[in-house]
Structure 1
């Protein structure tokens, strides 16, 4: 059960860029627990009836909203915010899309595609992907960050030293995340919640899903943290491990080329063995498959592997 929150920050208090001049929604003491209503990464523009045709209608100025910011009393540059992720209240709705021009294989998948997910928010049972299989779910927040010291408005899309759009699947319930503070009060915001994602989020989207996130915000004084770090409460892939994996590889003297090759070969394998359309396989890889650097020392070639969990097809 999620820890009870001292405050609820409603979805109306959201913003679309990092900017330390945005007035805080609330000022809290270290150790405060807050529940945030998080809008999905499309800014609420999609619903159960949406199709691939709606991708062209998206207002990209509303993409990746984050709820906040929160001023943490006593936070100063050089400190770190300690974020304990207490839990999530999922909505039962999600979407995955191939958005033209976005994703690891954007040059190979130029047409829009969409899958709408309906899942049980109480049981969080694996969710059906078309007729092919069921994806195990693991909620997390893709975007967790603080305001940067540099003035002006900065896009939420790229990750930063102070966090932001990290898209780290393991920032789930029980994880403790530490972020470096650059401005007084830290100015914490959170959003881009997902019901599931593979490591790499290769097509550019996961199971994008609005949900509430509960976190406890604390301070580590004079931490002098360079970049985000986190601690997980235990195993991070046990929802996927039970039946093992099918694995493809990419081998090249460029890690990005190797990563693309590994994913492309998994898309091909899923098409041949499961009869899936290539774009469907690509989206499915994004929500449950993992890119891993297997070898980075045997120059001049590096090995990247793509792990696809067999439990999806159980």
Structure 2
């Protein structure tokens, strides 16, 4: 996360700064009206949070009492600082540090211009949780002391590189910092916390822990060896471990496993075999190591090396920017082509409890990982077609890192396009023409309404299509969403931050029911999407009313009626006083996931149908799958319309439309080999770890049912009643097929145990969904 008060009008800077600090669990206690503040924060893969703060005189409060237990450090980089906690007061000079536990409020007084680094380390990390209790009061480390100089130098290097540091580059700090803290806590803790027998036992244990760390690579390490070294009996040493809640052997095994896990995930050890790593850290055979690793982390060593994260790491500690540094580097070099294979496995973890247990793709031979970047030659804008040339060829079980671009990026080109070479190329439009000319399924000569090629009959930028080997009509394709990350801005002014747009548009449900003047208005709200600390959230930056825009071809657009029209900042009035102190939880998902329909003509990307398309259901996010029926050979999968967040109904016409990069897995379920409830699917279905979500539409197969003018008729025939009827029928069939229920049983269950909701009323073919919770069924 990056923030500066300079991005806000002067009268709003204080409120904006307070709001920004709150996102990193800091309270602004006192500050001058004319405040300046800059904040850059980064959360590592292990959940260690680094936050560099620069500002004018102010007083802050650190209070992590409502969060998981943690240890925190403040390093003063420049200026002066006074820390107060109860009756304890400490003055710090440049290079000094103050630290404490997360359960007591500490005020930080900064009397002049300053720069500091706040570090928060979860106490749950293996290196800390069994070795140290959190301090109950603050302590300081002086830069002139040897230990202070070492830690100060380590943290200062992080502060200096925090804007550009990657997960791989931070790994050595992740490894060293918890170990450093564990030793420092006991060494510097207040005397009263170490007094008496308890203090003596804690001191012995700390020395024992350090001895074990130094001897982890010794396969013959034993409790007798450590007890002899510290001149205590093995029985007494075992009792010390029991007082800490575990046994000697379990502690040694967990520490060895953690060392192996770090090496397996480190690019520095990528060329070493798993056997080399496990033998280095004291394990004697690979079979027992693999069993212990799976018991500890929920996945095999091979899976972890391939995936690079534990099953819940990405949910708890989302990465910045792209899903992984490896994929970002590959894209930046320009050395990969669409469809080029990668053999480094999926870059992010699979969610535990993912559905379809009969498909063991992770262990199968030949699984590949592809990169599909977004470029003019890998996207199609506003339409689906069975005749599109594939941008990528995959086999069942393959992984794909896929980039997607929002069709709303020109609502604020400065934040969402400038500096981004791919976005600039796709959106490029001059008086001489467009790089991507067709935008929709209409005529290229704009002979219907004259808005431009494609007429905007379909609006979404879709990446693909992806050809799936062996997919035939009657089969079902499962698309697993493993991770989605916002695409960061490449503009130096907003580097690393992510933005999206929400348009209250003329096609929104609200448009004919406005209260205030002018009643015929469209409003664009620009949001910043923050995913770097704790709960990912979005907050409004500003909004503006749409004004007539003249596109580079000379056509005037009085309404938001054609995708990608550049908005001239000189023609709009930005209102920064909008949705203050409101946080929208980020629920990243794809609005559009589609297989090509079996239809001769181009198909408008807006109305969804049984082939998928613009389904706009926020449940299709990380950890979920969508099942789609195959209509044409190869399936031809396309993804687009990425959303940072959306509520059920998408009432005003759009979500927070935000470019995203995702990791997906594509699985083919042949018609004759699938489970019955999958084999008979002829409509889209979402599955999460806890739910099945059945999708119904006003006109589920409108291309077949509404005749030659289906693509215009569908917009005239939407109703919640017909969507509800379709959803009910599908959910009834699903329960009767999957659970072998009678019709009467299914109807009763649908009424008393299933939630029906409105997916969207914005897409010309309205949607209703049924949420069937898996917990309803005992087995």
User: TM-score normalized by structure 2?
Assistant: 0.29
The equivalences for 1:30-179 within 5 A come to: 30-42=396-408, 44-47=409-412, 61=456, 63-91=459-487, 92-100=498-506, 102-109=507-514, 110-123=520-533, 125-129=536-540, 130=578, 131-179=580-628
- Check 1:235–1:75 CA distance in 2 against 1; reply closer, same or farther (3 A cut): closer
The equivalences for 1:199-278 within 5 A come to: 199-222=648-671, 223-234=679-690, 255=720
Q: 1:47, 1:235 → 2: CA distance?
A: 37
Who is 1:19 aligned against?
A: 385
Kindly state the Cα deviation for residue 134 of structure 1 after the two structures are TM-superposed: 1.1
Kindly state the Cα deviation for residue 49 of structure 1 after the two structures are TM-superposed: 5.1
Q: 2:476, 2:691 → 1: CA distance?
A: 25
SS at 2:412 equivalent: coil
1:196-252 superposed Cα distances (whole Å, 9 cap, x missing partner)? 00011011111110011211001111124210112112489xxxxxxxxxxxxxxxx
Q: 2:601, 2:400 → 1: CA distance?
A: 27
Q: 1:218, 1:71 → 2: CA distance?
A: 12
Kindly state the Cα deviation for residue 133 of structure 1 after the two structures are TM-superposed: 1.2
Who is 2:233 aligned against?
A: none
SS at 1:169 equivalent: coil
Instruction: Give the conservation status (yes or no) of the 8 Å contact 1:19–1:154.
Output: yes
Kindly state the Cα deviation for residue 107 of structure 1 after the two structures are TM-superposed: 1.3
Instruction: Give the conservation status (yes or no) of the 8 Å contact 1:37–1:212.
Output: yes
1:8 to 354, 368, 371: 371
Q: 2:526, 2:646 → 1: CA distance?
A: 15
Q: 2:414, 2:524 → 1: CA distance?
A: 11
Instruction: Give the conservation status (yes or no) of the 8 Å contact 2:531–2:537.
Output: no
- Check 1:255–1:178 CA distance in 2 against 1; reply closer, same or farther (3 A cut): closer
- Check 1:112–1:136 CA distance in 2 against 1; reply closer, same or farther (3 A cut): same
Q: Please, which runs of 5 or more residues in structure 2 have no aligned partner? A: 1-313, 315-322, 324-345, 348-367, 416-450, 488-497, 515-519, 541-577, 672-678, 693-718, 722-755, 759-767, 769-779
Q: CA RMSD in A?
A: 2.7
Give the strand-richer structure, 1 or 2: 1
Instruction: Give the conservation status (yes or no) of the 8 Å contact 1:41–1:193.
Output: no
Q: 1:23, 1:292 → 2: CA distance?
A: 37
Q: 1:70, 1:39 → 2: CA distance?
A: 16
Give the helix-richer structure, 1 or 2: 2
Kindly state the Cα deviation for residue 139 of structure 1 after the two structures are TM-superposed: 0.4
Who is 1:275 aligned against?
A: none
- Check 1:162–1:292 CA distance in 2 against 1; reply closer, same or farther (3 A cut): closer
Who is 1:241 aligned against?
A: none
Who is 2:557 aligned against?
A: none
SS at 2:633 equivalent: coil
SS at 1:11 equivalent: coil
Instruction: Give the conservation status (yes or no) of the 8 Å contact 2:594–2:628.
Output: yes
Q: 2:608, 2:508 → 1: CA distance?
A: 15
Kindly state the Cα deviation for residue 180 of structure 1 after the two structures are TM-superposed: 0.2
- Check 1:135–1:48 CA distance in 2 against 1; reply closer, same or farther (3 A cut): farther
1:20-41 superposed Cα distances (whole Å, 9 cap, x missing partner)? 1000011111101111110113
Who is 1:193 aligned against?
A: 642
SS at 1:35 equivalent: strand
Q: 1:157, 1:24 → 2: CA distance?
A: 21
Instruction: Give the conservation status (yes or no) of the 8 Å contact 1:174–1:232.
Output: yes
Instruction: Give the conservation status (yes or no) of the 8 Å contact 1:140–1:169.
Output: yes
User: TM-score normalized by structure 1?
Assistant: 0.69
Of residues 104-113 and 82-91 in structure 1, the stretch that sits farther from structure 2 once superposed is 104-113
Alignment: residue pair count: 236
Instruction: Give the conservation status (yes or no) of the 8 Å contact 2:529–2:586.
Output: no
